[in-house]
Chain A
Amino acid sequence: MIRFFLRRLTFAVLLVVAVSSGALFLTRLAPGDVTANLGAFAPPEEVARTRARFDLDRSPAAQWGGWALRAIRFDFGDSFLYNRPVGGLVHRAAGNTAVLALAALSLATLLGIPLGIISGSHGGVAPLLIRGASLVCLSIPPLLTSLLLVFVASRTGWLPAGGMTSVDAVDSGWSSWILDVARHLPLPAIALALPIAATFERLQSQSMAETIHQPFVVAALARGVPWRRLVIGHAWRASLRSMCAIYGLAIGALLSGSFVVEYVTAWPGLGRLMYEALRARDIYLVAGCAAMGGVFLALGSLVADLLLFAADPRVREGQAA
């Protein structure tokens, strides 16, 4: 178990280093740089100062070396846009994204898995309707869903059209603040959750359909185990292996999907921060966001592995061997 965990941790560290370094190099090599934000006709001395401040007057390798040395000491450089250290900005945005991702993942799980069980174990009209709805949700990108939801929210006033808190929350206490966040959460969470819920449903349905015809399920049915207990207690548990594996990928999808959703719904998370940083070529902020994205991915992957480890005895046995 310890060796398994250490191997995963090493992989996570390598992933974070590779992703953040790659982001830094790609941002540096892309045409244009952060000085474009000063305007087309900024005084040359201001441009030179800015380039020096962000190490753009050094070679990409030298810039990366300096950045990596500072990053070891948890100094990820300054953001041009926010004019403050990247660490604090990324930390705050990652917290907001985590709240959104957790809500979206919970919603996707609560919607996708039960519907997958139903569509994979039943016949009739319901599975057809569920499958159709899933296909629709899979086909519509989160950008479109979020735009549609923002439009509906702005026209109906049923939910706040964007943001994480309302302006009236300025003087409110913690409990009001939490309620306020909860009111703002459904819109981006639904936009993010729908395609993932559909993925869960499809996978769960397929896995269920396969498991339901396994000999041990047929034998249980022959022994007179009630259908509901058979589905939940036997078939579903056995079908969980493929679902565990998909959770790591789902967290990755949540992050990539959150770029546009956070931008459109003005949710102050990592996706929006990275989008702004990319647009402004804010090089150290891009690298910081990418590093945190890597941490999320590695965590997702680790959680998936641990779930698999717990759910599948063959994995445990493999580790023991």
Chain B
Amino acid sequence: MKIRFRSIAITAAILLGGFAFWRSIAAPEIADGVATPAATRGGQLVGSIRAVPRSFNRIVAREQTTELLSFLTQGRLVRINRSTFDLEPWLAETWDASPDGRTFTLHLRSGVTWSDGTPFTSADVLFTLQAVFDPKSESVVANQLTVAGKPIAAAAPDDHTVVLTYPAPSGPGLRLLDGLVILPKHKLEGALAAGTFAKSWDSATPPSDLVGTGPFLLREYIPGQRIVLDRNPRYWRKAADGTQLPYLDRIVLQVVPDQDAELLRLQSGDSDLTQSELRPDDYVSARRSEDQGRLTVEELGVGVDADAFWFRLKPEAWKNDPRFAFLSKPEFRRAISYAVDREAFAENVFLGAAVPIWGPVTPGNRIWFSPNVLRYPHDVNKAKEILKSIGLEDRNGNGVVEDLQGHEARFTVITQRGIGWYERGTTELRTRLARAGIALEIAPIDNGALIQRLLSSDYEAMYYRPLSTDLDPAGNMDFWTSNGSSHFWNMPGPKGAGLPNETPAPEWESRIDTLMAEQASTIDPERRKAIFNDVQRIFAENLPALYFVAPRIYYAHNARVLGVMLSVQRPPALWSADTISVR
């Protein structure tokens, strides 16, 4: 009897324990549905980053975490609002432009000091530009501050005025300065003079040596673990109601390299923000957490970057391959565009969270997107007709089209391994193209190997997402012009690995080269837009790279975080951290 009672008690305890465990997993606490309160000062925000910073000096390092820290700790003369894409005054309060668009007189904000109390003056701006263009600095921003191949000249009539003279008229004008983080002369002039600027403010620099004009100061950096930033008490910016910004006392950025772990930490409340947008596979899980009151999920709109599918269009690389005869014809690529059902692509690859596109500029780039480019509605029969018109037919009945000499339209497409939507995207392409008689074999490879093969033009076809460096086309000349280093379907060969370009660019590429040069040096925005619409039209007709859908961007953050201005560009939230608060 005693034994039976003990058994019952143990069973009951196990059941109760199991029930409690299940409840704790299945029914988390639900936050009150209160109206959004006003922002208040104080509190700590915990974010995550997936990689450590290589440097605290944005002039010499470009990777995401260094860029993020530059937003948090430094200031620019002007900034592009990542949410509205408008140019905003920042350390420069006002400016005047000369009628020829080459000279800009910037009036610096008065009363701004570096975080160590030293006044911020025009000497800091001149010093920063000097550092950017000094060859020993190994600057990564010099290219984007170069106009017509020459650097921007600067002069300082007084402590609060800077005169910038561009070597030629520039379409983007002052927007170029968004990439220029202003650094303190009093801290770094010694390094520049000694030729050690490239190594200054590296990631081993003690936080006390770093000063800035941004909303936060670096307090602690533990490699591989976390970065702690405290409020800059000398930050110059105030909210509309006069409250001194930033609202937050502290930001802690934890290093979480794995994106699954990053999402779990966000859902568990260990983290308030993540480094980047949600992946398509994470929407459902994040929405569930939103229903439970843990997260706020926001749709930011259509992304500005999209996956591309392209063939290597470098004649030198296909010298002994007869397939280039049909591959080089725009009709072949148009047939592919007709063969792909973009609606189904959005559904199957991005789980519905994407919109059809016909070129590299997506609707997310509101200023430059042109809806009037040639479109290719899904039509497999039309694709087959086009292929037949260039001599490609399935003559032996094996399902794959071939030319008169029997060379099949069969290619290997490489993509990055481990990225869900790349793998789904290539599978969808294989299925769709097979119906038109084009055979694709998929080879997912490591990102490093993929980049090496891209740079050396050692592939047949590729599916990848090349990121644009700028929303303004003048900032992406390397992509559009035939000798550009991001002209990925026909990479120039100066990097040692690639084949030199021996064949002149096709006529349509030369037209794009001319138009891009013209729009980059045109001041009138309407004229620039019209020229760039032409560029997009030519691109869509010739399809050197095929774009099918642009993803919709969703971002999730803890429901206690307020005042986040989200952007489809990276970093999505912390580019404007001074207005963020927590409740």
Contacts and interface: CB of A to CB of B under 8 A. Distances in A.
Contacts of B46: 167
Interface in B400-445: 445
Which of A38, A83, A153, A156 is packed against the most chain B CB atoms within 10 Å? A83
A276 B268 CA distance: 25
Interface size class of A (residues with CB under 8 A): 35 or more
Contacts of A296: none
Interface of B is mostly: mixed
Given A83-B202, A263-B257, A155 B63 contact: no
Contacts of B257: 263, 266, 272, 275-276
B223 A170 contact: no
Contact of B252 (A167, A268, A276): A167
B559 interface: no
A36 B267 contact: no
Contacts of B255: 266, 268
A153 B452 contact: no
Contact of A155 (B28, B62, B486): B28
Contacts of B494: 44
Interface in A259-310: 263-266, 268, 272-273, 275-276, 281
A36 B258 contact: no
Nearest to B476: A41
Given A266-B254, A266-B261, A157 B223 contact: no
A31 B138 contact: no
B36 interface: no
B351 interface: no
A281 B486 CA distance: 23
A193 interface: no
Nearest to A40: B451
Contacts, number: 148
Contact of B223 (A31, A48, A80, A89): A89
A43 B203 contact: no
A33 interface: yes
A150 to B, nearest CB: 6
A70 interface: no
B225 A84 contact: no
B254 A49 contact: no
A112 interface: no
B495 interface: yes
B52 interface: yes
Interface of A: 30-33, 35-41, 43-44, 46-49, 80-84, 89, 92-93, 147, 150-158, 160-165, 167, 170, 263-266, 268, 272-273, 275-276, 281
30 contacts: A31-B448, A32-B448, A32-B450, A32-B452, A36-B452, A39-B62, A39-B451, A40-B464, A43-B140, A43-B143, A44-B495, A48-B496, A82-B203, A83-B54, A84-B203, A92-B223, A147-B260, A150-B261, A150-B264, A155-B24, A155-B268, A156-B24, A157-B24, A161-B265, A162-B256, A162-B261, A163-B254, A170-B220, A263-B257, A273-B224
Given A36-B448, A83-B202, A157-B24, 20 more contacts: A30-B449, A31-B445, A31-B446, A36-B452, A40-B454, A40-B486, A41-B469, A43-B140, A82-B52, A150-B261, A154-B267, A155-B25, A158-B24, A162-B265, A162-B270, A164-B225, A167-B226, A170-B219, A170-B252, A266-B257
